[in-house]
Amino acid sequence: MASTVTRRIIIVALVVLAALAPALLHGYALYLATEVVLYAIAAVALDLLVGYAGLVSLGQAAFFGLGAYAAAIVSAHAGPNIALTLAAGFALAALFAAITAPLTLRSAGIFFLMITLAFAQLVWATADKWHAVSGGSDGLTVTKLPMSDTAFYLLAVGLLLAVIVVLQRLLRSPAGLALEAVRENETRARASGLAAFWYKYWAFVLAGGITGLAGVLHAHHRNFVSLADVDWTNSVVLLVMVLLGGVRSLWGGVIGATVFVLLQAWISSKTDKWEMFAIGVVLIAIVLFTRRGLWSLVTRNA
């Protein structure tokens, strides 16, 4: 009981701190805080797959990049309308997930991971070659939104909280419990009459759409989209964030994104030669000492 109270206190503290950030942070610090929130949205979406559906994906960069390109293209034709670009990014990413899911979900384990990676690389190759639409290696400039950095940050925080609330309610619903049953034992779930494929299918599509939202905000935040947004390393980064924060906890994705982004920024400010090596050493140490992720330190006695 005490651990549950502690967990709720920490969640409230995180929300309050996020809301107060614009008053405390300015310039580059606020920029980093916004990066944390954007990656947290994508990490929470991936945790839906990894922690609750049992699907370890390396294809999230495709959804993230599709959302970013959708923001750039829609802004170029319809102007900087955040509602329109969010809708377009979610729809495009979710559509790609819906089309590829029937093939990816036929596999499991390492084979599922490799197929999702293959589809992500297909998106990268298309963006690289289709210069007329994606700008190729030159990328695309995204029209700046008519809002301040503070307003954009608060918008991102609001979207992150909305995503967490919606997913928490979904996971506590009969559909969410069925998804967990499929993750625990798919054969038994099917024998019980559950349509295992369709529960995984909709989880995959929903996670893709939410990751697309993160890509849209990322494009507006940096006012630029490039091949780096669909690079496979983005998928690895998101998976590391989930494992770092802790699977089977949506707030773990937030913690993982926070630690990774801030750690990367701090180390890169100290050195540019051994940046990834230093990040790797620190992350390995954290994982070794917190086998279930950083969020498990809060819920250890839950």
| pLDDT tens readout for residues 195-216 | 889 999 999 999 999 999 999 9
**From the centroid of its chain, how far is CA 16?**
22
What does the alpha-carbon distance between residue 44 and residue 40 come to, in Å, rounded to a whole number?
6
CA pair distance 6, 14, nearest whole angstrom? 12
Q: At what angle do helices 28-47 and 196-222 cross, to 10 degrees?
A: 170
- Topology of 2-299 in CATH? ABC transporter involved in vitamin B12 uptake, BtuC (1.10.3470)
Residue 70 above 90 pLDDT? yes
| Tens digits of residue pLDDT in 136-167 | 888 899 988 989 889 999 999 999 999 999 99
pLDDT of the residue at 194: 86
* pTM for the full predicted model: 0.90
pLDDT tens, 252-269? Answer: 889 889 988 988 888 877
Taking residues 81-109, report their average pLDDT: 94
Long-range contacts of 135-140 (CB under 8 A, 24+ apart): 135/225, 135/226, 136/227, 137/226, 137/227, 139/224, 139/225, 139/226, 139/227, 140/69, 140/72, 140/73, 140/76, 140/224, 140/225, 140/226
Residue 257 in contact with residue 39, Cβ under 8 Å? yes
- The domain ranges of the chain are 2-299
Work out the burial of residue 8: count CB atoms within 10 Å of its CB; fewer than 13 is exposed, 13-18 middle, 19 or more buried: exposed
Neighbours of 230 (CB within 10 A): 28
Contact of 61 with 231, CB cutoff 8 Å: yes
